[in-house]
Each structure stands twice: as C-alpha cells, then as structure tokens.
Amino acid sequence: MKVLLSLLILCAYINAITFRTCLNNPSVTVASIETNPKTIIRGNELTVSVNGNSGVEITRGKVIASASMYSVEIIRQEEQLCDHTTCPIRRGDFSVSQTIDIPVDAFPGFYTLKFQLYNETNVEISCTTFKVQIKSS
C-alpha cells in the first residue's frame, strides 16, 4: 500500500511526455522529456527538460525550441546549448533544459513542440517532437 501510494505521488509530480524523434541516426538520443508547469498558460513560461544520451562529445552548440500549430510556427527560441547544460557534454547521459516564453497572444490549443540540438559546426544532432496544450488561463 505504501509503495503504491508513493508511486501514485511520483506519477503526479513527474510530468513525463510521449515524444517522437525527427532525425535519422541522431548522435544524441532522447530518453525522457518533462515539462513544467503541467498546465501551460499563454503569457507564462514553460520549462522543457530533456534527458538524453550523447554518443559524441559536444563542446558547444545550439538548442532550438519551436512550437507550431497546423504546421505554422508560432514560437521559436534559439539559444546557446552551453547556457542550458554543463559543457563540454561528455559521451553518456546528460540533461538540458530550456525555458520558453509563451506569447500572451498565442492561440489556445494543441501545439507540436520541437526540440533540436545542433553541434559546433551547425549540424543537427538531435530532434524530438511532442504535443503540448496551451491554455488561455
């Protein structure tokens, strides 16, 4: 009973997301994604945390988070990878998180969020998409 209760509490707090990869043979594979807060409200911030595994060492690069609705890109935020994780990224597990500003005028509804990593020579090394719902309040 105690174990079950702990599991339920754990599930309530960890907001793991179903995602798909959008790159063949990525050098960085994504193991899990979490978003915070659980309810995404326009005009607020959304933090996306990605746990991944890198097959290569990365000294620097870019992270791009974008969100689109019906293939129309509404949000695009490009930042330096090393501002969002510890660099260099060694081979193995690592995590990166990015905070996205959701525009106050974003239309409420379901968006496809894309999270991409680029290496120093601007080659895409990871691409993941997942759905998020933006609410008006």
Ligand X SMILES: *[C@@H]1O[C@H](CO)[C@@H](O)[C@H](O)[C@H]1NC(C)=O
> Which residues are at the interface with ligand X (CB under 6 A)?
27, 119-121, 123, 125
- Least separation in angstroms between residue 65's CB and ligand X is 20
Report d(CA 131, CA 111) in Å as an integer.
Answer: 6
133, containing H or E segment = strand 124-135
Contact (CB, 8 A) for 53 and 28: yes
Nearer to ligand X, 71 or 121 (CB): 121
Q: Which is nearer to ligand X, 24 or 121 (CB)?
A: 121
- Nearest approach, Cβ of 112 to ligand X (angstroms)? 25
**Please, what is the minimum distance in Å from the beta carbon of residue 56 to ligand X?**
6
Q: Are 22 and 115 in contact (CB under 8 A)?
A: no
Of 6 and 86, nearer to ligand X (C-beta) is 86
User: What tokens appear for 58 in the block?
Assistant: 């990365």
